[in-house]
Amino acid sequence: MSGNAGTEEATTGGGYAGPGAVWIVGAAGQLGTALTRRAPRGIGVHGLTSADIDVTDAASVRAALAGLSAGDVVINASAYTAVDKAEEEPERAAAVNTDGPAHLAAVAEAAGAWLIHVSTDYVFDGPAAGSAGNGVAPRVTPYEPADSDSVTTSPTVYGATKLAGERAAVAAAPSTAVVRTAWVYTGGPDSPDFVGTMRRLEAARDTITVVDDQTGSPTYAVDLADGLWELARRGPRTGSTGAGEILHATNAGALTWWEVAQAVFAEVGADPDRVRPCTTDEFPRPAPRPAYSVLSPASWVAAGLTPLRDWRQALHAAVSESSVSESSESSVPESPASDTPESESEVTENTSVIDDTLVSGDAQ
């Protein structure tokens, strides 16, 4: 698998007329929910939740995707993302993050369909934040897809199983497009993600403390969903090796969790100085956190896709749109309940130190 595949100009033979049906695996999660809601008109969408498909079971995957046809697209937005718990449950994490993509890819390949597999910044092996980095200076340049070619394993079980899942999917279906993302959030006042948690804590506490030595790119689930739909409509593209693309898609910009929290406070009209910085060592967790995991957008742009907007614009939209939605919902009849988005991040609210564990998401 070539990390430079995203820069190749070759395309699949015969052109691409646009997707047939699109199957969203992990439809109840944060990203899956956004994908379903942002689906373009005229495209048939099949949303599959954990009640419909068990990605760890090949037979379940075959049965759930029995209607898959040539030209259809499968978007895998499912994953095991409890980063700390994965250290205790490596077999379960591997079953979901490694075996799952392989099963989906095999069925897609057999049907002549195309798999888009969502992955994470945790696949890289850069130094961890805090003393876990063993004094190694953090990286300061964004990761390119090719940087993963030499990685043998990630420092975390979560990252290692996601990296293995990327490779297993491409091995089973060479045209697979792998899309890595990071720090995904929805941002509503009731959202279990980092942004939503900051909104609740702002209303509940005088001050909070957030880690300031982990740098990445917060990514609005709606923007990522729109990007994936653009990719699905553009169609598969293979490089000179015959392998599909590895692409990076996040909102533009790089900042720390502390800076994200300060920005959230500012967006809701609160004093950002109420957010205090701390180090990762002051808030130890079972799994190490990357000190720096910014992803370069170069592969996404080279693939002819629209860059995701700046993180601050996205955060403003997330907060304002969710506030408007909340106000609107109070004045209209209640609609039938849809799948509740699962948490893409494990955020601790019962301590003064807040840390988001990940990002790519429970249904990334």
Please report the sign of the dihedral spanned by the C-alpha atoms of residue 92, residue 97, residue 101, residue 104. Answer: positive
Cβ 123 vs Cβ 151: under 8 Å = yes
Q: Catalytic one among 80, 122, 143, 158? A: 158
The 3-state DSSP class for residue 292 equals strand
Number of alpha carbons in the 13 Å side-chain half-sphere of residue 291:
18
Cβ 88 vs Cβ 157: under 8 Å = no
Cβ 159 vs Cβ 122: under 8 Å = yes
Q: What would you measure as the largest C-alpha separation in the chain, in angstroms? A: 61
Alpha helices for the chain (secondary structure H): 30-37, 58-64, 83-86, 90-94, 100-111, 157-172, 194-204, 221-234, 257-267, 298-302, 311-329
- The residue written with tokens 């279906």 in the block is 173
Amino acid type, 203 = A
158 among known catalytic residues: yes
Query: For residues 181 and 258, what is the distance between their CA atoms, to the nearest angstrom?
Result: 20
- The residue written with tokens 């696949």 in the block is 123
- The rounded radius of gyration (Å) of the Cα atoms in the chain is 19
Kindly list the catalytic residues: 158
